[in-house]
Amino acid sequence: LIAYADGDARRLLNTLETLSVAAGREKLAEVTDVWVLKVLGERMRRYDKGGEQFYDTISALHKSVRGSDPDAALYWFVRMLDGGADPRYLARRLIRMATEDIGLADPRALRLALDAAEVYERLGSPEGELALAECVVYLAVAPKSNAVYKAFNQAKAFVKKDGSRPVPLRLRNAPTQLMKSLDYGKGYRYAHDEEGGFAAGERYLPDGMPDTPFYRPVPRGLEIR
């Protein structure tokens, strides 16, 4: 039972309650492993957290969401639960899917994933699992974009290779007179005072650094706007 609960005290209590009700209904004199497995529908863990089947199944769930197939995503999600996966792990994975695969095509996806994780924390199993299921479906049918994911990784790779370039004087903070006398912040154009709130022609990258288009938005969902 402890292994089945996987560290979730609420799940353990719910399981004990289920067994207690079943034992009373059947007027059971002795509780055996065979009976427990029967009552729980043989839902005890069929793979461990580090097993190949675990990672194959979570991979199938992630790819189903990425491929916009809500039915397949729900199937693999339930398979994970049925196999004894910790719903908290699944909640964290859904948050990852929202950031990696939906991104700015639908920024609401991340908020929904965070809310679903919070609902599960409050309700536990089995009630809280429905919130996670709703999130699975939402992520699967949401427009997809990995533009920020790719841009972030490209920027990290560039900085690692390029090193640290100095911040241009016009972009530096100048909280003291000494810094102002050294031309910190001099020539900076305040975008809000420009036409359309955009300082046309202003450059924000380090001097001498080539223009590097890390972020390339996709023409889907809200990102195209």
Prediction pTM value: 0.75
Please report the pLDDT score of residue 15 as a whole number: 77
Which stretch, 48-57, 104-113, 209-218, has highest mean pLDDT?
104-113
> Which of these ranges, 23-37, 54-68, 158-172, 192-206, has the smallest mean pLDDT?
23-37
Give the model's confidence band at 33: pLDDT under 50 very low, under 70 low, under 90 confident, else very high.
confident
Give the model's confidence band at 66: pLDDT under 50 very low, under 70 low, under 90 confident, else very high.
very high
Give the model's confidence band at 196: pLDDT under 50 very low, under 70 low, under 90 confident, else very high.
confident
Please report the pLDDT score of residue 50 as a whole number: 54
> Which of these ranges, 6-10, 136-140, 151-155, has the smallest mean pLDDT?
6-10
Question: What domains, with CATH codes, occur in the chain?
Answer: 1-44 (no CATH), 45-165 (1.20.272.10), 167-208 (no CATH)
The residue assigned the tokens 């675990």 is 54
SS3 string, the chain, reads CHHHHCCCHHHHHHHHHHHHHHHHHHCCCCCCHHHHHHHCCCCCCCCCCCCHHHHHHHHHHHHHHHCCCHHHHHHHHHHHHHCCCCHHHHHHHHHHHHHHHHHHHCCHHHHHHHHHHHHHHHHCCCHHHHHHHHHHHHHHHCCCCCHHHHHHHHHHHHHHHHCCCCCCHHHCCCCCHHHHHCCCCCCCCCHHHCHHHCCCCCCCCCCCCCCCCCCCCCCCHHHHC
